[in-house]
Amino acid sequence: MGELVEYNPKDDTLTGDNIHHRCHPLHLIWLSGFNPRVSLLNVSTARDRKELVLASGNTLLFYCYDGEREKIVPVVGHKNVVNMLGCDESGRFVVSSDCSYCINVWDRHVGGEINHHPIAIRTIFEPFKTKGEIGAVTLSRDGKYLLAGGGLTPEQGSQLKLWSWTVGNDFPDDTITLPTRLGRIKTIHFCGDRGRRNQFVVTLESGVVFGAWDSKEQKLSIQVPKRHGFQDYNETVFVECTDRAVSVTGAGIAVLWSNDRKVASGPEGSVLRKEFLKYLHLKYASINVVRSCDEKIVTGDDDGEIRFYDNAMKILYWFKREDLEPIRTLSFELVEMRPWKPASEPIEGDDSAPKEEPTEKKMEVNVEDIAPKDVSFEARPVIVRGFVSATKTGKIYDIDIVYDKIQELFLQSPSIVTAFDVHSGRSELCTCDGNGRFVVYDLQTKAMRLALDVPIQRTRRGRITTLAYSSCGTFLAGGAENGFVWMVEPNLLILAGSGPLQFTCEKIRLVLFSEDSKHLVAVDESNTITLVQRVKDDWQTIGRCVTHRLVDLTFLSANDFVSIGEDRYMVQYTINCDEMAQLEALSIVKRKRIEQSAFPTALLILPGGNQILVANDQLKFKIFHSRSFDILHTYLAPFHDGPARYLRQLPGEDYFLFITDNNIYLHHLPIDGNPFKYLAVRGHPKRLKGLAISWTVRCAFTFGEGDHAVSMWKINTSPLLDNIRHAGTGLDPFCTLLPGGKRGCYVREILSLFFYNQISPKNSDGDAELTLRDAMNVQDVPNYMRSIGYHMTEYEVRMDELLHICNHKNYVRFIQELNLCKEMELTGTYFLTFEEVTKLFLNHRIATGVPPNAEDIRTAVTYIGATTSSGNQVDLVKLITLLASMGEPMEPKTTDAYCRTLFPSAFEVNQQDDGTVVECGTAADCTNLISIDEFADKLC
Among the listed residues 720, 562, 555, the one whose alpha carbon sits nearest the alpha carbon of residue 654: 720
Residue 259: pLDDT over 60? yes
For residue 688, the surrounding DSSP H or E stretch is strand 688-694
Confidence check: pLDDT of 918 > 50: no
- pLDDT band for position 365 (cuts 50, 70, 90): low
Maximum mean pLDDT: which of 127-141, 341-355, 634-648, 812-826:
634-648
b/e per residue 659-694 (b: at least 16 CB within 10 A): bbbbbbbbbbeebebbbbbbbbbebbbeebbbbbbb
Instruction: Give the global pTM.
Output: 0.85
Helix segments in 347-395, DSSP class H: 359-362, 367-370
Q: Domains of the chain: which residue ranges?
A: 597-727, 731-761+771-844, 854-911+923-939
What is the C-alpha to C-alpha distance for residues 782 and 135, in angstroms, rounded to an integer?
56
Determine the Cα–Cα distance for residues 866 and 882; give it in Å rounded to an integer. Answer: 8
Query: What pLDDT is attached to residue 926?
Result: 47
DSSP three-state, residue 297 = strand
> Which of the following CATH numbers is that of domain 854-911+923-939: 1.10.238, 1.10.150, 1.10.3470, 1.10.1740?
1.10.238
**Could you give the CA distance from residue 123 to residue 79 in angstroms, rounded to a whole number?**
12
Per-residue pLDDT, averaged over 878-887, amounts to: 80
Q: String of b and e for 894-921 (b: at least 16 CB within 10 Å)? A: ebbeebbeebeebbeeeeeeeeeebebb
Return the top range by mean pLDDT from 17-31, 340-354, 662-676.
Answer: 662-676
Model confidence over 89-106: pLDDT tens digits?
999 999 999 988 899 999
CATH 3.20.20.300 is held by the domain 597-727: no
Q: Per this entry, what is the length of the chain?
A: 940
Summarize pLDDT for 630-656 with one digit per residue, the tens.
Answer: 889 999 999 888 899 999 999 889 999
Do 597-727 and 854-911+923-939 agree at the fold level? no
Give the separation between CA 133 and CA 158, rounded to whole angstroms. 10
Share above pLDDT 90 across residues of the chain, in percent, rounded to a whole number: 45
What pLDDT digit, counting tens, does each position of 229-244 carry?
788 999 999 999 899 9
